[in-house]
Structures are given as structure tokens and as C-alpha cells.
Structure 1
Amino acid sequence: MKITVIGAGAVGGYFGARMMEAAIDVTFLVREKRAEQLQKTGLRIHSNFGETHLQNLQLATHPDDIKACDLVIVAVKNYQLPNAIDSIRPLVAKGAKVLPLLNGIEHYAVLKEALGVDAVMGGMCQIIATLNESGEIVQTGPVHDLFVGPLELGQENLGKLLREACAGANMSVTYREDILAQIWQKYAFITSFSGVTTASRLPIGELLACDAAKRVFHNALSEMSALAESKEVTLPKGFADYILAMMNKLPKESTSSMHQDLIKGLPLEVESLQGGALRMAAQSEINLPTISTIYGLIKPFEHGSIL
């Protein structure tokens, strides 16, 4: 299996590196500046699951440099997607399917319109990772899981092949027929988690130690469950309580990538997460007061600002 990873940031770099460790043919399609950095330093990961430093990476800066590809893993931020589509389209024309690992829901409609319904599979990941100042990947927390599944008939085999290819990789890959429900669970969680940690500027331990902040988190999760229900997707019963129980098991310093981006003064995915939820809620004619408040508190920092 030949895999192209669009973006060698925290998420794409991490999963791409773990696949390379398992002898999977991986090419990173990146911008020239990132390519120069990786050629010089290699790809280094600091992780609870083991350190790794890979050199002699297969790098490309233009899709024409990639002669064959079975699967394109899209691991960019939502605000980078319009430019990424121009790089994905030639690979799809060569027969590749697309596995998005972006946060949110709305990007599926964008990708399907640009690339065709049959080209886009269902994907999501569970990982807490960021890039440090040296461009190295720092992974924390107890999970480094990738989920894949079909959104259309005919995509099943490739999803299962990916799972089999990654059987020996230092990561978890799960094939799910109900991938859409899994994507919604991730979306409901990350919209709430990123929202409360970023708006409060607190890691999860300090946030949960405050009853008032904990209630805000619970309310956000409950609202996202209601939004999923309005879209005919049922999240597990007691979803909000389950997530809070899971959060109590994380290291107290754990936080969201959006909170980390805020601290670094980087652009935030507020429109694809909280903004997307509000747009879908308007379509379903339901109110999300907690999500709306969180959106208003984060929106001023959307384009990046040093605190």
C-alpha cells in the first residue's frame, strides 16, 4: 500500500512516522519550508509510546512528484483545506482514495464536492500532539488511535487493507462500519473540550477542579449530543458523563490543541468546530447557548494573537 500524507505536522507526522516504522510506503506532501526542515533534521517524535527519529524520509512538495498512491491521508487544519484540495485532486485522478483526519464535520461536504463522493472515506483520530519550537512532534496522553471506515459502497476493502497493513505499527488502527457515528462522537467531544480549555485558558485538571467550569463542559457536551440527534446520529447514552469520567483519567496538565495554538499565537479552528456547530444548529432550528458563548469568547483570536 502506497500512502501519501498531506501535512507533516503533529497529527500527520505522528501517524505517518508510525506507519513508516512498520515498513509501510509513506510519502509526505509538504510545503517547501517544512521539506527543508525535515531533510535537515528528520522526523523526531517524543511520545509516551516510545521515542523515534526517522531520517531519509520520502518527501514531495508537489503532487506531480508522486507517481502512485492508494490512499491520501489529509492531516491539515481546516483553514488550510482549500489549498490542500489542489494537491489532493491530482492524486485522486490517479486512483487514490482520501482519508480525512480533520476536526469537524463540514469538511466532508467540501471534499466530496471537490473530489467526488466515492473518493472520500470516513476517518478520525484520537491523539493529543503538538509541534515544539524545533518542529518535533510531542505526543502526550493515553491514546494514539486512528479510525477508518466506509462512507460509500466500495470503500470497505481499502479500509480493511489499511488496518491490516498497520497491524504491526506502534499505533492503533480500527476499522468501523459505523464510522459516521464515531466521527460525530469525536466532533462533539473536541468541540466541547477545545472550547472550554481555550476559553478558560486552563488545562483539564484545573478546569475540572472548578465545579462551575465543569458544569460548562458538561453543558457543552450535552448540547453537542442534541445537535447530533438533530442530524439523525445518536451518541451513546450518558455521553457527557462518560466524557467527564474519561477526562478525570488524563494527566492534569492535558489540554486541547486549540488551547496550545492560542498560547502560541497561531490561527484557531473556531469556525470549523464551534462555528460549524452553530451553523448546523441553525439549520436544525435548535439553540446551543453554551457553544455560542464559547464561540464568542474564542472568535477574537481566530487569526492568531499573542496573549
Structure 2
Amino acid sequence: MGSRILVVGAGAVGGYFGARMASAGHDVTFLVRERRLQQLRAEDLCLISSIGNVTITPRMVTTGEIDDPYDIILLSVKAYSLTAAMDDFAPAVGPQTRIVPLLNGMQHLDILEERFGPAAVMGGTCFVVSRLDAQGHIVQTGSLPRLSVGERDGSDTPAARSIAETLSGSGFETVCSTHILQDMWDKWVLLAALGSICCLMRGTVGDVASQPAGQAFAQAVIHECALTTAAAGYPLRDAALQGTVSLLTKTDSTLTSSMFRDLLQGSPVEAQQIIGDLVRRARIHQIPTPLAH
């Protein structure tokens, strides 16, 4: 019998990966709020994707309807919704359940471990450019999405390989990583720098980079973030640093952060989890952060 997967959230991220896995034949159930439940009952779960469109009729549960543990919980909520989400999916966590969080930053690992124990919590991260449109369809653009999962201590275990194999499907790459915490720190620096640049300057990467001293400003923000992660014991790998600098200094780039888009729409933002927690860690190591602060 295949592993039972509970995807917490059927939004732009969880909905994308969950729909791809369900299309590949995996046993996937989505834990959703009542509003999303009604929307998906009416419209089905539709992916509009540069890699190929998919429509599925998802298997769904709501809070209070979980009766048995699941093997894998793929957690894809916003960081500020973590506490409420943990209460919702707690009945799905059994002695053998493994939780794969795709949240931004690192703070959520400590919170999940405190609630469910260290053995239950794996490392995880993803790269996907996706959004919900007005009809609730998931629109994915850009390059092939990637999902990475691994043991937090870096060990190469049969369980980790099995989970990576289960969390797979056409339409994205799955990586079983033996350096998943480094992967997560690398992404955190990118997101913190991108969010700081866009929110402070109120523009796209290209808007900032095309201004006098704009590229120097972007590089200074990246430098603050990179110094912090190095002090915490996870220095950015050369390829990650060069890729971040290249991405965030392009003068013709239309890239913005989801934090900036949420800010413009008046929606809740992950400022504390992405930027605030990084600044807190910088203070612990006495790293000055005049720009990100």
C-alpha cells in the first residue's frame, strides 16, 4: 500500500505539488478551509502551467474530519498561519508520521519540533513561481519547479529516499538532499534580500537595479544577509551567492517578492518570519544590519 499524504493547504504551492502528485497516482488528501473546500467542489483543482495543464477532483478534508494518522504531511501554509495549521493537522500526526514543511525561513522548524518532537520533522524547501487567479486556479510560470526534502542531520536514510520518491510527480523535480538545512538557509537569504529590496524601495528588482547606486544597494542587502547566515554556521555556497547577486541586480527584471505583493494588497505579510527572525539572529552574532533592520 502506498503512503498516505496529507497536503496542508491547497493554495499556490501546496495545490501545485499536491495536484501533480495526485495526477501521478499518489494517495493525496488536501486539508482545506471551508471557503477553499466550496471553491474546489465547484471548480475542481486546476493547474494552468507552462509545463502542462492539469485538472483533478481532489480528495479533501476540513478541520475535525481527520480520524487516522497520515504517513507524510506536506505543510505549505504561510508562516504566520503555522500555529492554527498545527492545531488543524495535529490529529493526522501518528508515531511514524513525517512532516515536510515548505515554509520560508527557519523558525518553523523549532515550533514544529516543540509540538510534535524532533523525529517527526524533516527539512524541506521548494522553488515554484505560482499564484491563485480570481477563479482559484493555480497559475504556474517559469522554470521547472523543484521540491527538496531531507533529514535535518544530513544523513542519507532509506526513509528519506522513500519520502522523496513518494513526493514526486511529473511537472516538478524532487531532490532527496543530504544538506537540506543549507538549502533552506540559501533560500532564506534570497527571500530576505528580495523582500527587503522590494519593500524598502517599493519597486521591482529592475526598478531598483536601474537606479544610480541601485545595484550597490542590492548587493549591500545581500551582504548583510550572507554575513548572518555565515555566523550561524551556514555560509552561502559560492553558486548560491553568485546566483542571488545575479538575480537581484538585473536592470530589466520584473521580479518582486511575495511579501511586497502582499504588502501592496494590504494582506498579512511574512516580515517577521523572513526578515525579523534573520535580524534577530544577526543581533545574537553582533552582525550589523542597518538596511534589513
- State the TM-score, normalized to the length of structure 2: 0.91
Deviation of residue 208 (structure 1)?
2.8
Separation of aligned partners in 2, 1:74 and 1:155: 22
1:12-55 per-residue CA deviation (whole Å, 9 max, x = no partner) reads 11111111121111110011111111111111122222222222
CA RMSD, 1 decimal: 2.2
Letter in 2 for 1:204: V
Rate the CA distance shift 1:196–1:11 in 2: closer, same or farther, 3 A. same
* Fraction of identical pairs, as percent: 31
Separation of aligned partners in 1, 2:112 and 2:85: 10
Partners of 2:69 and 2:94 within 8 A in 1: no
Deviation of residue 249 (structure 1)?
7.9
1:121 is matched with which residue?
A: 122
Partners of 2:209 and 2:250 within 8 A in 1: no
Deviation of residue 66 (structure 1)?
5.0
SS at match of 1:65: coil
The 5 A counterparts of 1:1-307 are 1-55=3-57, 57-62=58-63, 64-93=65-94, 95-152=96-153, 156-166=157-167, 168-237=169-238, 239-247=240-248, 252-292=253-293
1:254-275 per-residue CA deviation (whole Å, 9 max, x = no partner) reads 3221122123221110000110
List structure 1 runs of 4+ shifted beyond 6 angstroms.
248-251
Rate the CA distance shift 1:28–1:41 in 2: closer, same or farther, 3 A. same
Separation of aligned partners in 1, 2:70 and 2:215: 45
For structure 1, the residue ranges without an aligned partner over 5 or more in a row are 293-307
1:305 is matched with which residue?
A: none
Bigger Cα displacement from structure 2, 273-282 vs 148-157: 148-157
Separation of aligned partners in 1, 2:272 and 2:198: 16
Deviation of residue 63 (structure 1)?
5.5
Partners of 1:141 and 1:254 within 8 A in 2: no
Letter in 2 for 1:28: F
Deviation of residue 215 (structure 1)?
2.0
Separation of aligned partners in 1, 2:181 and 2:251: 26
Letter in 1 for 2:276: G
- State the TM-score, normalized to the length of structure 1: 0.87
Letter in 2 for 1:137: I
